[in-house]
Amino acid sequence: MGQTVKTSTRPLFSSTRRWLRPWRLGLGRLGLAVLAMAAPGPGLAVENAVAVPAVPVPKGYIDAMSWTDRAARAGDPRAQYHLGVIHWRGLRGEKNPRLAADWFAKSAGKGYGLAQFSLGLAFELGLGRTKDAARAAPWYRLAARQGIAPAAFNLGALHERGDGVARNPAQAAVLYRQAARAGLAPAQYNLGLLYGEGLGVPRDRVRAWVWLSRARGGGYAGARAVLAALEKDMSTDELGRAAMAYSQKARR
């Protein structure tokens, strides 16, 4: 067996072993305007079983900014999240992580998944909140339960490192798989490496190849070199089974 799948001597595929940077918050100007304009019209909007007053739908980007501010202050959790993004990214003046985190907290407390993820990120990165992975984890967990793939990925990374939570590679694999099935390429990459190493899951080079191939197809640049190294240790039979599983879009 080649050295690339041994865990006793060095990590799999050396320096590219794991993508552990937290998945960060990203929402462009156009996305912000579109999301804001998708808000409820006059009357009462129900968001996560919380009735909140709505405001007139904006007609353009400038109106969207104004709407976001007014709706957030009126208690709309989606608007509170979007206003947090505005301050996080400095879309209306200077970046203000603390104010952003305050708005994320208001929205997260009402059960809005993206805000829960964002508040967890604020704690993990120490932006707008004291850096504390232990406080990030519960927010990631709540968001992951709502299907927020980046939250599952970040929580998986915490479990793999043992950062703020108990080190648990098996739980990391579960969370990576959730995010990988949602199409998150870095999660597909990490899950493939776990299978290649037998860390938290049984060692399985076929499944490793499938997930790493998905990561490569999803644009994860590091997957190409890792796949090339893995293929050198795979038998013809393993490569055939892996190719068939990939072509059948297996979700393992």
Q: What is the CATH number of the domain that holds 142?
A: 1.25.40.10
Q: Does some domain include residue 184? A: no
Q: Does some domain include residue 159? A: no
Q: Does some domain include residue 30? A: yes
Q: Does some domain include residue 192? A: no
Average pLDDT over residues 96-109: 97
As for how many domains the chain has, the answer is 1
Question: Which distant-in-sequence residues (6+ apart) come within 8 Å of 110 by Cβ?
Answer: 47, 48, 50, 77, 80
**Widest distance between CA atoms in the chain:** 66
Closest among 174, 121, 191, 109 to 150, alpha carbons compared: 121
Q: Does some domain include residue 31? A: yes
Output the pLDDT for position 91: 83
**Residue range of the domain that includes 84:** 24-146
Query: Is the pLDDT assigned to residue 53 strictly greater than 50?
Result: no
Q: Does some domain include residue 124? A: yes
Q: Does some domain include residue 225? A: no
pTM of this structure? 0.78
Q: Does some domain include residue 229? A: no
Tokens of 77: 């959790």
H/E stretch holding 53 reads strand 50-53
Query: Is the pLDDT assigned to residue 10 strictly greater than 60?
Result: no
- Residues 125, 22 contacting (CB under 8 angstroms): yes
- Give the rounded percent of residues in the chain with a pLDDT score beyond 90: 65
Task: Count other C-beta atoms under 10 Å from residue 26's C-beta.
Answer: 10
